[in-house]
Amino acid sequence: MTTEIQQKEHKRPKNRIPLFFIHFVKFAGPFWKSENKQSIRLQTLALMVLTVLQVGIAIVITEWSSSLFNGLEQHSTEMLWRLMWFAILILVVNVAVTATHLNVKRSIILKWRAWLTDRVIGQWMNEGHQIQVTHMPGKHDNPDGRIAEDIRISTEYAVDLCHSLVYALLLLIGFTKILWTLSGTVHLSWGLLETPVHGYLVWLAFAYASAASFLGMKIGRPLTHATDVRQTEEANFRFGLVRARENSEAIALVHGETDERRRFFALFQGIINAWNRQTNALSKILMFTTGYSVVSMAFPIIAAAPRYISGAITLGSLIQSVQSFQQMAAALSWPVDNLAKVAEWRASVERVLGLAQALKDLQEDINHLDSNTIRVERTGQPHLIFHDVSIAEPDGIVILDGFEAKISRGERVFLAGDPALGGKLFKVMAGLWPWGRGRVELPKGNTVFFMPPRPYFPIVPLREAVSYPSHPDSFGANEIIASLKKVGMEEFITRLDEKGNWEKCLAREQQQRLGFARLLLHKPRWIMLQEALDSLAEADAKKIMQMISDEFPDSAIITLTRQTAMEAFHQRKINIECSRCEKVLKKETRKRREQNRRGHVEVSTMNRVIGSLRKDRRKV
């Protein structure tokens, strides 16, 4: 299973780049088929109509400019006043269309971003996928940045780029016809031959813009990769700062500020390098676009001036020709003008697609219920049963083999052995660790409550933090107060409505006590304690354990702890041992040596795997 995923990840980059736009459309395009598809499609249609009106206004302005300069050439005051009133009308219509267009466009962007964010978060924060995806191969680090920033860029820039592209195409269609008419026919003399050229300004505009686009694309090609690298480095720096903030107390206690500053500087140095690389690419594009814009002002006048000097066109027609040429060149230069934006958009899209693909591969991996996946099923029996469960790492190496156990409701079971293996066994029961084989039967309809080493507390009032994940209204005020008293947290009763970052405000022991208060509120039938007492003194841990036993006489309690004194509160003990570890080691060694002879695995890789297996065996 894992080998297949790695093969897919290895092959994907070869096809992902040329097909990235198709992948993005397949992933984000269903927005127009979502629940609110009618209003979304109406807004999209309105945006198209408003874009057509914008192009129409641009054409009307060139006609107005032609009439204005013709009036000036004829010294006509009457025409000047008439054109002034017409300009006011154009101004009012243009302002109304532009403002409406902006509101509609931003509404579509916001709805699309909200829909796509909800979709990705739904896949990420779902049944433990946020943990499992970290074990998947591929580039999907910093999912928070990909969801918050890259989805914003992906949707916002996509709408902006699509609008500007459609606008450019409409400009091209509209002004090509105008410029063709204004260009007339010129005759090129080749000695005795004379060749008529119809619409010569149109051909010049095409040649001018095509040459500029070709040079611009060639000059700006390094920008895509440079932008992607910079976004990755920025995300890594943000993640480092967030991680330091979340562990600020631990850093201060060991005086690790110097090391953290060094780490921050190293991360920021990556940003500096990426910034300089992007700056170098942008400077080349800027030099080109600056020169291009200057030439664009003078070139059409020089190209159209001969017909005006010869008297074939009026001053107004000359100005209209210049404006039409510039509009055509601008439309044809869309790739050059949007090169940097396209590069940034593409980099963000690929980061979003990278996370989405990892989540998709993970779901396919989990759904692939065969001998390489641990199946967790709900049954009608009041028992928790492990059927020949083998736990493996995501790379396929088995770390716990052939685990069998049956636990009935009301039993107290003490798990002994390697805490790391026990932690993975808890993840298996929670459905968070599918790697391995075998089957786990969970009692159907009975609440299973997991107590991790460090409970999670959202930044909310303490009443909500204690009630999490249920709503505080699910419990009475007296219930919450009573639970706090039973776990020795009476001093926090007056702070129930106080909002705070409880993971930072409370000591580790206090956090675990609040976790037990949460346990008392939810009254589960199955209680899984994973090192949930280890921050307490032995005497306090015994009091908490006795309290749980008294409060939940009919509930099953499965305890994994480093405090051996807790074993006295349990009816039986289960040793988590890799009894077949030596056998597994020899089997994996023979397998990899055979693969090495076939050329599939390098010797160095095989030795690292064997060393890892031996290390696991020594731990057990």
Which tens digit of pLDDT belongs to each residue from 490-521?
A: 999 999 999 888 887 888 899 999 999 999 99
Stated as kind and residue range, the H or E segment containing 604 is helix 603-619
Residue partners of 138: CB distance under 8 A and separation at least 6: 9, 12, 354, 357, 358, 361
Name the β-bridge partners of 387. Answer: 439
Give me the domains of the chain, ranges plus CATH numbers: 2-366 (1.20.1560.10), 375-576 (3.40.50.300), 582-619 (no CATH)
Using CA atoms, how far residue 473 sits from 395, 467, 470, in Å, is 45, 9, 8
Span 126-147, mean pLDDT?
69
Q: pLDDT of 84-135, one tens digit each?
A: 888 899 899 999 999 999 999 999 999 999 999 888 888 787 766 666 666 6
Half-sphere exposure of 9 (CA within 13 A, CB side): 19
- pLDDT computed for residue 601 by the predictor: 39
Q: pLDDT of 358-414, one tens digit each?
A: 877 777 766 664 556 888 888 777 889 998 888 888 777 888 888 888 998 889 999
- pLDDT computed for residue 338 by the predictor: 81
**Pick from 489, 503, 496: nearest CA to 475:** 496
- What is d(CA 10, CA 584) in angstroms, rounded to the nearest whole number? 28
- pLDDT computed for residue 99 by the predictor: 93
- What is d(CA 371, CA 279) in angstroms, rounded to the nearest whole number? 52
Q: In the numeric block, which tokens belong to residue 139?
A: 């580039």
Using CA atoms, how far residue 18 sits from 89, 257, 464, in Å, is 47, 45, 49
Averaged pLDDT score across all residues of the chain = 80
**Position 594 pLDDT exceeds 60:** no
Task: Work out the angle between the directed axes of helices 257-309 and 222-246 (0-180°, nearest 10).
Answer: 150
- pLDDT computed for residue 480 by the predictor: 92
Query: Sorting pLDDT into bands at 50, 70 and 90, what band is 579?
Result: very low
- What is d(CA 605, CA 573) in angstroms, rounded to the nearest whole number? 38
Amino acid at 567: E
**Pick from 476, 389, 460: nearest CA to 424:** 389
Which stretch, 295-304, 367-376, 525-534, 591-600, has highest mean pLDDT? 525-534
Span 303-324, mean pLDDT?
77
Q: Name the residue with higher pLDDT: 357 or 102.
A: 102
- What is d(CA 264, CA 613) in angstroms, rounded to the nearest whole number? 35
Q: In the numeric block, which tokens belong to residue 327?
A: 């509009």
Query: Sorting pLDDT into bands at 50, 70 and 90, what band is 50?
Result: very high
Percent over 90 (pLDDT), the chain: 17
- pLDDT computed for residue 611 by the predictor: 45
Q: Name the residue with higher pLDDT: 443 or 304.
A: 443
Q: Name the residue with higher pLDDT: 603 or 611.
A: 611
Q: pLDDT of 546-573, one tens digit each?
A: 999 999 998 999 999 888 889 899 989 9
- What is d(CA 567, CA 413) in angstroms, rounded to the nearest whole number? 8
- pLDDT computed for residue 9 by the predictor: 39
- pLDDT computed for residue 29 by the predictor: 84
CB 178 within 8 A of CB 171: no
Of 169-173, 329-333, 428-432, the one with minimum mean pLDDT is: 329-333
Task: Work out the angle between the directed axes of helices 581-597 and 603-619 (0-180°, nearest 10).
Answer: 180
Tell me if residue 26 falls in helix, strand or coil.
helix
CB neighbourhood size of 355 (10 A) = 24
Q: What are phi and psi of 467, to 5 degrees?
A: -80, -15
**Position 271 pLDDT exceeds 50:** yes
Q: Name the residue with higher pLDDT: 361 or 438.
A: 438
**Position 302 pLDDT exceeds 80:** no
Q: Residue for token digits 């969801």?
A: 147
Q: Name the residue with higher pLDDT: 343 or 405.
A: 405
Angle at 601 between CA 8 and CA 583, to 5 degrees: 105
Percent over 70 (pLDDT), the chain: 84
Q: Name the residue with higher pLDDT: 191 or 286.
A: 286
Stated as kind and residue range, the H or E segment containing 257 is helix 257-309
CB 521 within 8 A of CB 479: yes
Amino acid at 446: N
- pLDDT computed for residue 187 by the predictor: 64
Q: Residue for token digits 């065996």?
A: 617
CB 588 within 8 A of CB 609: yes
**Pick from 175, 182, 174: nearest CA to 305:** 182
Q: Name the residue with higher pLDDT: 17 or 522.
A: 522
CB neighbourhood size of 389 (10 A) = 23
Task: Work out the angle between the directed axes of helices 257-309 and 339-367 (0-180°, nearest 10).
Answer: 130
- pLDDT computed for residue 2 by the predictor: 40
Q: pLDDT of 208-256, one tens digit each?
A: 777 777 777 777 777 767 877 887 888 888 888 888 887 876 788 778 8
**Position 54 pLDDT exceeds 60:** yes
| β-strands 412-417, 460-461 pairing | unpaired
CB 433 within 8 A of CB 391: yes
**Pick from 390, 483, 486, 376: nearest CA to 431:** 376
- What is d(CA 592, CA 589) in angstroms, rounded to the nearest whole number? 5
